[in-house]
Amino acid sequence: MTQEDDLYFNIDSRLLLQLGKKLVTNRAVALAELVKNSYDADATQVRVSLKNIKNTGGTIIVEDNGSGMLLPAFRNTWMRIATIDKEKNPISQKYKRQKAGEKGIGRFACRRISKRLRIKSIAITEDGHKEELSAFFDWTAFSPGSDVDKIPVKYTTKLVDDKIRTGTILILEDTKDSWDGWDIRRLRNELTDLISPTTFKDGQEFEEATGKYDPGFNIDFECPEFPTKEERLEETFLRSAWAKLSGNVDENGIATYEIKVLNKVINYITKNHTRIEAFQNLRNAQLEIYFFVYLSNFFKDSDWGLRDAEEIGQSRGGIKVYSDMFRVFGYGEKGDDWLKVDYDRGRSIGGVDEEVSDYLEKKDDRPGLRLFKNHALFGHLKFVKNSNPMLEITVNRERLVDNVAFEELRKFVRLGVDFATVLYSNEVTKKMKLEDQKKEVEEEARKKAEQELRKKAEAARIIAEEQAKKAEEERKKAEEKAKKADLDRKRAEEELKKAEEERRKSEIERRKAEEEQRKKVDELTKKHLIEALRKEEEYIKVEGEARKKEKERRREEEEIRSKIDRERKKSEEIRLQEIEKLIKTEDELRNLRDEEFKRKEEKLERETAQLRVLASTGTLVLILNHELRALVDAMEEMNNNFLSIIKKMPEEEQLKYNEIQEPFSNRIEMVKELGSLLGLTVGVEGREKREWIILPIVESIFHPFNWYFSKSGVDYYINMPNNLRTRKMYRSELVSVLINLMSNSAKAVIGMNDRHIEVKGFEENDYVHIWFLDSGRGLDKSLWEEVFEPFISYSEPDLKFGVGTGLGLKIVRDIINACGGSVQFINPPEGWKTCVEVMLPKRE
């Protein structure tokens, strides 16, 4: 007996769960899809609110003022899996927008984020009234093994007041994940960057009469538990960039670029470049990039300090990609290097794309060494989706499919970066040349000025000595005259004394004569009296002349002494003037020396400041080691309690929760191993010199990172005899050397297709040899010695090993040299890209 009938596929509810996991792997992508639905519904405003989300069981609300949904649309779109509505109706009704949502991902986003969903939507009916649709989804009811079309979704409809605005509210209840401050900050930034910066610019005009009017689309974000502010990059920040690049690919695939310098290195320039060869699979794309140079002179007139700018570059730098107006996630995020600029800069490749190499002014220059890295790039690429059918977004909405069209897209952006790099390299080369010339001129001028000053000082010294000698001779002549005048004065005084003596004798005789006259009163007495008076008059006259002569001598003596004083003062003034000239000359020479010393001192201060920070890490390690032990104890206690609870569960439930518990136990072990590694540098063993077996210490360095290496696809090998020993040294020194070389190798291989590290040890020619080999990016041979200089680093930032300080290899060399050994890069064996060789003298 033959039986015929029709069969139909049934859809298991597990499909919804699988679609939610596969199509929406990122919470930010999930919410972005809901926001896109609001845009497609001609909303101008959408608000995303998160409440009580520090723990699971919170609420997320997405509310817009769009056109809403009536029951038929809800039944045929929301309630139909894999609907083709947006393919049949790709343009929105009101603002004629190109719809952004695809594949009905919005409902799966809701299933990914929460356990229940409430929808309330208000739309205008055909007769002009407003109707409210409410629906409730309990996702837990869609359990595996049940048929999707057999599980009812409750809904209600009712007419509402016409004054109520249209729009849709999605309430996602009982969220599955907890959120912290970092999650919220990242979500806020990703929603802020969701819309292309060129879609709705301030001042953009629209023609409402022709049906092209679109008032724009704004996203508001609210999270009371983590009230961080929006971190949109402002124009004031972008104005501090070195240059701005604009690029365009037209409908024929011809790419053009224009770069305009905003803050000059040497010149303000504007340069254009057009590709001769057209892209075959890329049409209608626009590019805008701001190039930053993190030097203080670019931020001296800015509201942003250099340190702030560098932090923004590390967290927000990169080139984002937009399909039509919405962002394609995954590109331009921290740690993403889709243009391979960090990769090429890390490998120290000196070249750039041949298409722009002709712009290089110095042909032997290596512009690739100045290639702009991701943290120095702020920009976006926007392509028209309908013009680029091969640029497909992956199923989980996080990247573009890697095909020939994507390679052309990458080529378009990277060529713009290379074009800017060449022009920047030209400017830096010119600046370096000018600085060298300026230094030469300044040095020549300094030497010439110093010579001139020395000549002037010598001439001034000779003149001062001659004038001092002449003044001394004049002084001696004046002193001789003064002595002669003094002798003449003394002679005059002697003569005066004699005259006075004679006058007194004459007076005595006169008085005697007068006495005799009175007694004898005769003619003879009168005669004697007359004679005595005559002589007295003569003596008075001689005395007057002597006094006059003495007065003349005193006047001459005063004049001579006054002249001597004037000559002495004049000589002293000349001597002081020459001393001042000598002091001024010495000050100028000292200033020249001080300026040179100041430049060297500033450099030393910068280096010392970094060394102080590094020196403080010893105390920090001690604190962290203590706190880490307490944390591990608490984690182990929690884990034991969890295991006790699991053992009391039914067997089928135990399997489910063991899958959660095992990774937690593994993480505890990893934390304990990291704590042990910290203890290597601060324990008792770190304070005494001993001969150390190298193999177990190498293993203890690598072991804490096993989980990270496994997750990152890094394979490492340790190839050395188990009796290989060092000479006497501190264990902390050996650990420091090994961990620096290990972290450099790890950062070199991350991101490479081939990720291998090998540590090899052996004895040869009275030395212990330790080789660190890796298959990473390699290092240009010209940099093999430079990287051992302090604060020189070409390694790339890594989430696990951080950003290099440029001191690691310097510390390694200092330690090894102090132990009588050496460390250097050597040509690696076949199959390896880098080999660092450490040589230590064999133990005595």
pLDDT tens sequence across 142-172: 877 777 778 888 999 999 998 999 999 999 9
- Rounded Cα–Cα distance for residues 403 and 399 (Å): 12
Dihedral through CA 616, CA 617, CA 620, CA 624, nearest 10? 180
> Of all helices (H) and strands (E), which one includes residue 700?
helix 694-702
Of the listed ranges 86-95, 504-513, 518-527, 681-690, the one predicted with least confidence: 681-690
How far CA 50 is from CA of 62, 125, 190, 221, 400, in Å, comes to: 9, 32, 15, 8, 29
Q: Is 797 helix (H, G, I), strand (E, B) or coil?
A: coil
Instruction: Examine the domain organization and report whether 339 and 403 are in the same domain.
Output: yes
- Among 552, 579, 606, the domain boundary falls at 579
pLDDT, tens digit, for every residue of 646-655? 777 777 676 6
**pLDDT for the residue numbered 105:** 61
Cβ 834 vs Cβ 745: under 8 Å? yes
User: How does residue 800 score in pLDDT terms, banded at 50, 70 and 90?
Assistant: very low
For residue range 12-57, what is the model confidence (pLDDT) as tens digits?
A: 666 666 665 555 667 888 888 888 889 889 999 999 999 999 999 9
User: For residues 805 and 614, is the Cβ–Cβ distance under 8 A?
Assistant: yes
Residue ranges of E strands in 375-518: 377-383
Residue 655, pLDDT score: 67
* End-of-domain residue from the set 533, 552, 579: 579
AA identity, residue 25: T
Residue 664 lies in a domain: no
Listed residues 158, 189, 222: the one ending a domain: 222
Question: Which among 810, 816, 671 has a CA at the least distance from the CA of 744?
Answer: 810
* Token pair for 491: 């002679």
Q: Is the pLDDT of residue 174 over 60?
A: yes
Using alpha carbons only, what angle is made at residue 774 by residues 773 and 779, rounded to the nearest 5 degrees? 100
124 assigned to some structural domain: yes
pLDDT exceeds cutoff 70 at 129 = yes
Q: What is the mean pLDDT of residues 757-761?
A: 95
Within-domain flag for 638: no
Alpha-carbon Rg for the chain, nearest whole angstrom, is 49
The chain-wide mean pLDDT, for the chain, equals 79
d(CA 350, CA 366): 4
Same domain, 458 and 537: yes
Tally of domains within the chain: 4
Q: What is the mean pLDDT of residues 382-399?
A: 85
For residues 146 and 373, the model is more confident at 373
Residue 15 is predicted with a pLDDT of 64
All residues at 6 or more sequence positions from 323 whose CB lies less than 8 Å from its CB, including other chains? 382, 383, 385, 391, 393
Exposure b/e, 620-646, CB count within 10 A at least 16 = b: ebeebbeebeeebeebeeeeeeeeeeb
622 or 35, greater pLDDT: 35
pLDDT per position as a tens digit, 532-560: 667 667 767 766 776 777 677 677 767 77
- Residues 407 and 542 grouped into a single domain: no
Q: What contacts 487, CB < 8 A, 6 or more positions away?
A: none
Task: Among 101-110, 351-360, 644-653, name the most confident range.
Answer: 351-360
E strand or H helix at 824: strand 822-825
pLDDT for the residue numbered 291: 95
The one-character DSSP state at 728 is: S
As a whole-number percent, the residues of the chain with pLDDT over 90 amount to 24
Does residue 299 lie in a domain region? yes
Residue 631, C-beta contacts closer than 8 angstroms, at least 6 positions apart: 671
- According to the model, what pLDDT value does residue 687 have? 54
The whole-number pLDDT of residue 131 equals: 94
Q: Are residues 212 and 326 in the same domain?
A: no
Assigned domain for 207 exists = yes
**Residues 109, 154: one domain?**
yes
Query: Over the stretch 689-704, which tens digit does the pLDDT of each residue have?
Result: 788 999 999 988 888 7
Are 204 and 345 in a shared domain? no
Q: How confident is the model at residue 683 (pLDDT cuts 50, 70, 90)?
A: very low
Say if pTM beats, i.e. exceeds, 0.95.
no
Q: Spell out a b/e string for 380-405, using b for 16 or more CB atoms within 10 Å of the CB, else e.
A: bbbbbbeebeebebeebbbbbeeeeb
| Single-letter residue type at 44 | T
| 346 and 482 share one domain | no
If asked whether residues 697 and 714 sit together in one domain, one would say yes
- The pairing of strands 218-222 and 270-274 is unpaired
Is residue 222 within 8 Å of 48, Cβ to Cβ? Answer: yes
Q: What is the pLDDT of residues 319-346, one digit of tens each?
A: 999 988 888 888 888 878 899 888 887 6
Query: What is the enclosing helix (H) or strand (E) of 160?
Result: strand 154-160
Q: Is residue 56 part of a domain?
A: yes
Please check whether residues 807 and 774 belong to one and the same domain. Answer: yes
- What are 169's strand-pairing partners? 63, 120
Enter the tokens of residue 686. Answer: 């770190």
Could you tell me the CATH number of the domain that includes residue 97? 3.30.565
**pLDDT (tens digit per residue) in 832-842:** 999 999 999 98
- Per DSSP, the three-state class of 772 is strand
Which strands make up the sheet holding 218-222, listed edge to edge? Answer: 154-160, 130-138, 114-124, 167-175, 59-64, 45-51, 218-222
* d(C-alpha 759, C-alpha 774), whole Å: 9
Strands in 377-383's sheet, in edge-to-edge order, are 270-274, 255-261, 243-249, 285-291, 377-383, 318-323, 326-328
State the pLDDT at residue 302: 75
Are 63 and 167 within 8 A, CB to CB? yes
More confident residue, 413 or 679: 413
pLDDT for the residue numbered 685: 46
Instruction: Give the pLDDT of residue 603.
Output: 59
pLDDT of residue 82: 65
For residue 291, what are its two tokens? 């190039």
Mean pLDDT score, 195-199: 66
Domain shared by 129 and 242, yes or no: no
pLDDT at position 674 over 60: no
Mean pLDDT of the region 469-493 = 73
Q: Tens digit of pLDDT for each residue in 241-289? A: 999 999 999 999 999 999 999 998 888 989 999 998 999 999 999 999 9
Residues 372 and 300 in one domain: yes
Looking at the domain assignment, is residue 30 inside a domain? Answer: yes
Report the CATH number that the domain containing residue 568 is assigned in CATH. 1.10.287
CA geometry: angle at 81 spanning 78 and 82, to 5°?
A: 110
What is the band of 634 on the pLDDT scale with cuts at 50, 70, 90? Answer: low
Confidence of residue 200 (pLDDT cuts 50, 70, 90): very low
Q: Tokens 């004798």 correspond to what residue? A: 505
Q: What is the pLDDT of residue 566?
A: 74
Do the domain assignments include residue 39? yes
* pLDDT score for 523: 61
In CATH, what number is assigned to the domain containing residue 740?
3.30.565.10
Q: Are residues 67 and 169 in the same domain?
A: yes
pLDDT of residue 209: 36
Kindly report which listed range (178-192, 240-254, 457-471, 740-754) carries the lowest average pLDDT score: 457-471
Checking DSSP bridges between strand 756-764 and strand 715-719, what pairing results, if any? parallel
Bigger pLDDT: 8 vs 130? 130
Is 416's pLDDT higher than 70?
A: yes
- Domain holding 714, by residue range, is 688-841
